[in-house]
Chain A
Amino acid sequence: GQNIDQPTEMTATEGAIVQINCTYQTSGFNGLFWYQQHAGEAPTFLSYNVLDGLEEKGRFSSFLSRSKGYSYLLLKELQMKDSASYLCAVAPGDYKLSFGAGTTVTVRA
């Protein structure tokens, strides 16, 4: 099976930076996705990495190291609306996605 690990919970202060790590051991690798999910809502797409390096999109950045089986999602200038769960998902090469259990981020004033 696929193994995708991320921390269960993180707390940070408004305006700060938080880094959510994701490590994976999968049968193959064809890219890594990050999704955001607010409580009671559907997951929404944030980013996709297939090559090593950093991808920046406004306040959110995602990094990938394929040799280390490691990714992180960086949230800068945190806002209260960033309080949500962040899901790491790997495409292992069978045309499906395998998801981690998600990291719940709480932003405090």
Chain B
Amino acid sequence: IAGITQAPTSQILAAGRRMTLRCTQDMRHNAMYWYRQDLGLGLRLIHYSNTAGTTGKGEVPDGYSVSRANTDDFPLTLASAVPSQTSVYFCASSAKAGEGDTQYFGPGTRLTVL
């Protein structure tokens, strides 16, 4: 089934540990995004990639890094997790990085940092 997959579905992590959230899409979309969603704050953009090989910072990039080695995969890494990174993380993609392009979301990863 075409779409976006994320792994893991949920994770409990000790503070200070390194963690990579995985995101894969099979729609051959050029643009990909990582958001975090916190109660009362809505979706906030962490990092994005307009095309394979390029990445950019969003609204809340500190403490996170991304890479885009190919079209399909866009992993998000927390180098040293802190409790404030407890959140639900959504990966999204769009056909291109155009203004009217619809973003399609993965099912999310629920991360708890203790």
Beta-carbon contact of A43 and B90 below 8 Å: yes
**Which residues of B are found within 8 Å of A45, using beta-carbon distances?**
102-104
Interface string of B46-73 (1 = CB under 8 A from A): 0010100000001100000000000000
Interface string of A86-109 (1 = CB under 8 A from B): 010101010111011110000000
**Which residues of A are found within 8 Å of B41, using beta-carbon distances?**
101
Beta-carbon contact of B108 and A42 below 8 Å: yes
Kindly count the residue-residue contacts between A and B in the assembled complex, taking CB atoms under 8 Å apart: 52
Residues facing A in B89-114 (CB within 8 A) are 90, 97-100, 102-108
A41 to B59, CA, bound (A): 23
Find B102's partner among A8, A48, A93, A100 (CB 8 Å cutoff). Answer: A48
Shortest beta-carbon distance from A63 to chain B in Å: 17
A33 to B43, CA, bound (A): 13
Residue count of chain B within 8 Å CB distance of chain A: 25
In the assembled complex, A13 has its CB within 8 A of some CB on chain B: no
Beta-carbon contact of B90 and A100 below 8 Å: no
* Residue of B whose beta carbon sits closest to that of A88: B42
In the assembled complex, A50 has its CB within 8 A of some CB on chain B: yes
* Residue of A whose beta carbon sits closest to that of B102: A45
**Which residues of A are found within 8 Å of B98, using beta-carbon distances?**
95
**Residues in chain B within 8 A of chain A (CB atoms):** 31, 33, 35, 40-45, 48, 50, 58-59, 90, 97-100, 102-108
**Residues in chain A within 8 A of chain B (CB atoms):** 1, 8, 30-31, 33, 41-45, 48, 50, 87, 89, 91, 93, 95-97, 99-102
